[in-house]
Amino acid sequence: MAKSVDIEKEITELRNEIRYHEHRYYVLDDPEISDPAFDKLMRRLQDLESRHPDLITPDSPTQRVGGQPAEQFAKVRHSAPMLSLDNTYSVDELRDFDRRVRELSGRSEVPYVAELKLDGLSMALTYENGVFTRGLTRGDGTTGEDVTANVKTIRSVPLRIDSKNLAGVGLPAKFEVRGEVILGHKAFQAANAQREAAGEPLFANPRNAAAGAIRQLDPKLVAERKLDIFVYYLLVNGRPPLDKHWQILEALGELGFKVNPYRVLAKNFEDLLSYIQKMESQRDRLEYEIDGVVVKVNEIALWDELGKTAKSPRWAIAYKYPAHQETTVVNDIRPQVGRTGTLTPVADLEPVSLGGVTVSHATLHNMDEIERLGVKIGDTVLIQRAGEVIPQVLKVTRHAPDGREFRMPKHCPVCGGDVIRVEGEVAYRCVNAACPAQLKESLLHFAARHAMNINGLGEALVDQLVDKKMVHDVADLYALAGEQLANLERMGEKSAQNVLDEIEKSKKAELARVVFALGIRFVGERTAQLLTRHFGSIDKLAQATPEELYEVEEIGPKVAQSIVEFFRETRNRDVMEKLRRAGLKFEQKTHRADGRLSGKQFVLTGTLPTYSRDEAARLIEEAGGRVTASVSKKTDYVVAGAEPGSKLAKARSLGIETIDEAGLNKLIGK
Ligand code: IVH
């Protein structure tokens, strides 16, 4: 046992190291180490803290997601009102603002800072002793809601500020930072995809999704949303502590906060205009939504002179870009087959210009969304475009008297395969694994690095293979001949041979890779590993009933159902046979029949003092035992750690032996 001083030292060092890498990754967007290397540091810290809970501090990087769901949020008064901004919609209005500022201040020219107007929700962050202690929503501007636990889950919010950095900008240890909590386009799409799968109504825009997330009562759910923050305001004792707003933004960056890089110090009005124009043209390429530009007087002494109106300061103003919204007519609605076979209803629109881009399609997501919108073919709709994503239909503005209803077809429009709706899901899917629309994506997935890792089988080659009907399923890859490939565009004999070598090499891939490569819906890399560990062969997996699949740790009914569906499909079974004949690995020894735990079933619950769940499962399996998800009469041992769940109670009620980590070590002879 190491001395406790050593452990304290290691914990402190680990925390600093993790903070440094969090800053590189989440604030600077410039990581220095790989994700697994980062996870390893985090696990080490978690491990030390779980063995020494007295050393856990609220600003530890492990404490971002924690605690119990809140009952409700406390109302707290702001240290200084959170003002809003007046809006302008034209250059003339902006010119009026500049004139008023110059007149009131008596200056002939006033320098401004221009920033992006981020479309999120404003948040006030309090730091005491350099540690993040409170996050408040804007509320009515005077009083906000305490959402501290939720704000902690935002990885770009530093939980503690280095005292060296505080000294560097001459800041006391108690201060307040304000900024905008946002949800990037990617995270927004992921949030909506999740809601779609759960059959819940979709968020209209990232701001609503971010606001919804921040008001979640359970921080664990907030953490899943991947919120982000950009800060733009600093207060010490209710006042900005520096002379210039530009300096404030720079200081915030030095303190470790995320400050938006698109900002300018404009010497005069002309500079402002060119920034506004430049950002409007780049607007669609940003990873998050903006709705304009905020213009602020740089000199803070002028802020006091200019003062404020009832709700907004006279030293700042928002210049709003036109919303990328327009009304148009739905000419048709048709299903589009995506890569997993999902049929997405897409609206064919009367073309309209939206922020300089002609739009002729919009996604309707799924049948529930069509029903919610009440949209029919012929209706006039309001559409919106954000970033580079496909436009959305926001609402019907006029129903056509003879509007035609859209119905999902019973057969795939591309291959004629059966279209089914999985129970409990909103999506309709074509179940045919050989559907050409899906085939290209399946091939790319099959060849991907974490799947069969076939180098050189990229989009250009896949397109040709499918279009020229050289492959009809993933197994056909193993029947390709050199001269066939060499005749393709951008291929020579040499590169053809390289691809063939790669394909040959892939036959040796581990079983878990094969399972992942099949592209079974909901079966990602990790699930594939768990399935492989449990079943040990594709045949056993293919024959498993939903109940047997459900027994595997981390596998829920949705995944189980999807696996059963996959292997029920004749075409998929045919592909399996071809892959088997090609010589792919279909089996892997999992349980050692001669191990000391062979034939024994285990269930894990709670946190073990030293082993992670995966480590414990691996040790059991190496000794020939099996780990299942739930306690049943077949269970031999329940291994219980700290904060065990209901599994322990069930084990006791069934009279099943429960052991702790030491007991497990004894069983495996460690
Ligand atoms: S400054 C008194 N800067 O816009 C200064 N606000 O319409 C008030 N916003 O409530 C805020 N980006 O939530 C400022 N770069 C930015 C901003 C920004 C977005 C939001 C903020 C504010 C609202 C006012």
Q: Distance between CA atoms of 485 and 480, rounded to whole angstroms?
A: 7
Candidate of 294, 302, 306 to mutate for ligand 1, largest count of ligand atoms within 8 Å of Cβ:
294
Nearest ligand 1 atom to alpha carbon 138: 10
Burial of 620-630, coded b for 16+ CB within 10 Å and e otherwise, reads bbebbbbbbbe
Question: Tokens at residue 158, please?
Answer: 């530093």
Q: Distance between CA atoms of 322 and 343, rounded to whole angstroms?
A: 33
CA-proximal residue: ligand 1, atom 21 (nearest) = 122
633 within 8 A of 654, measured Cβ to Cβ = yes
| Ligand 1 center from residue 159 Cα (angstroms) | 23
Residue of 75, 117, 186, 267 marked catalytic: 117
CB atoms within 10 A of CB 274: 12
Could you tell me which of 145, 131, 138, 144 has the C-alpha nearest to residue 175? Answer: 131
Question: Tokens at residue 416, please?
Answer: 């004629």
122 within 8 A of 114, measured Cβ to Cβ = no
CA 57 → CA 132, 251, 485, distances in Å?
12, 26, 60
592 within 8 A of 668, measured Cβ to Cβ = no
Q: Distance between CA atoms of 177 and 126, rounded to whole angstroms?
A: 6
Q: Distance between CA atoms of 437 and 414, rounded to whole angstroms?
A: 7
DSSP 424: T
CB atoms within 10 A of CB 371: 9
CA 387 → CA 188, 266, 280, 376, 507, distances in Å?
11, 26, 12, 26, 41
| Ligand 1 center from residue 76 Cα (angstroms) | 20
| Ligand 1 center from residue 319 Cα (angstroms) | 11
The owner of tokens 């990790």 is 526
| Ligand 1 center from residue 186 Cα (angstroms) | 23
Q: Distance between CA atoms of 107 and 120, rounded to whole angstroms?
A: 34
Domains present along the chain, CATH in parentheses = 2-63 (1.10.287.610), 77-320 (3.30.470.30), 324-398 (2.40.50.140), 436-582 (1.10.150.20), 601-668 (3.40.50.10190)
Active-site residue 589, yes or no?
no
| Ligand 1 center from residue 79 Cα (angstroms) | 17
**pLDDT at residue 592 in the model:** 65
Q: Distance between CA atoms of 347 and 329, rounded to whole angstroms?
A: 9
Q: Distance between CA atoms of 660 and 65, rounded to whole angstroms?
A: 26
279 within 8 A of 291, measured Cβ to Cβ = no
Sign of CA dihedral 242, 246, 247, 253: positive
CA-proximal residue: ligand 1, atom 23 (nearest) = 84
CA-proximal residue: ligand 1, atom 22 (nearest) = 84
Give the pocket of ligand 1 (CB within 6 Å): 83-85, 115, 117-118, 122, 138, 180, 232, 294, 313, 316, 318
Q: Distance between CA atoms of 582 and 480, rounded to whole angstroms?
A: 11
Mapped onto helix, strand or coil, the DSSP state of residue 517 is helix
Q: Distance between CA atoms of 189 and 186, rounded to whole angstroms?
A: 5
Helix pair angle (557-568, 570-582), 10° resolution = 80
Mapped onto helix, strand or coil, the DSSP state of residue 89 is coil
**pLDDT at residue 199 in the model:** 66
The residues pairing with 145 across neighbouring beta strands, listed in sequence order, are 75
**pLDDT at residue 55 in the model:** 93
Q: Distance between CA atoms of 42 and 29, rounded to whole angstroms?
A: 19
> Strand 290-297 to strand 316-320: parallel, antiparallel, or no bridges (unpaired)?
antiparallel
Q: What is the pLDDT of residues 183-209, one digit of tens each?
A: 998 888 888 877 776 667 778 788 989
Sign of CA dihedral 365, 371, 376, 377: positive
Q: What is the pLDDT of residues 30-41, one digit of tens each?
A: 888 888 789 899
Nearest ligand 1 atom to alpha carbon 318: 7
Q: Distance between CA atoms of 456 and 460, rounded to whole angstroms?
A: 9
Could you tell me which of 51, 75, 53 has the C-alpha nearest to residue 66? Answer: 53
Question: Tokens at residue 380, please?
Answer: 């006039």
Burial of 332-349, coded b for 16+ CB within 10 Å and e otherwise, reads ebebebeebbbbbbbbeb
Q: Distance between CA atoms of 25 and 9, rounded to whole angstroms?
A: 24
Helix pair angle (459-467, 436-447), 10° resolution = 140
CA-proximal residue: ligand 1, atom 10 (nearest) = 84
Question: Tokens at residue 650, please?
Answer: 């069930």
Enumerate residues 6+ apart whose C-beta is below 8 A from 240.
233, 234, 248, 300, 303
**Which residues, given as ranges, of the chain have pLDDT below 70?**
1-3, 197-199, 339, 387-389, 433, 590-593
Could you tell me which of 257, 265, 263 has the C-alpha nearest to residue 230? Answer: 257
| Ligand 1 center from residue 188 Cα (angstroms) | 21
| Ligand 1 center from residue 283 Cα (angstroms) | 17
Question: Tokens at residue 372, please?
Answer: 């919610």
Sign of CA dihedral 567, 571, 573, 578: negative
Phi and psi based region of residue 436 (left: phi greater than 0; alpha: psi -120 to 50; beta: remaining): alpha
CA 444 to chain centre: 22
DSSP 455: T
Q: Distance between CA atoms of 328 and 438, rounded to whole angstroms?
A: 31
Nearest ligand 1 atom to alpha carbon 87: 7
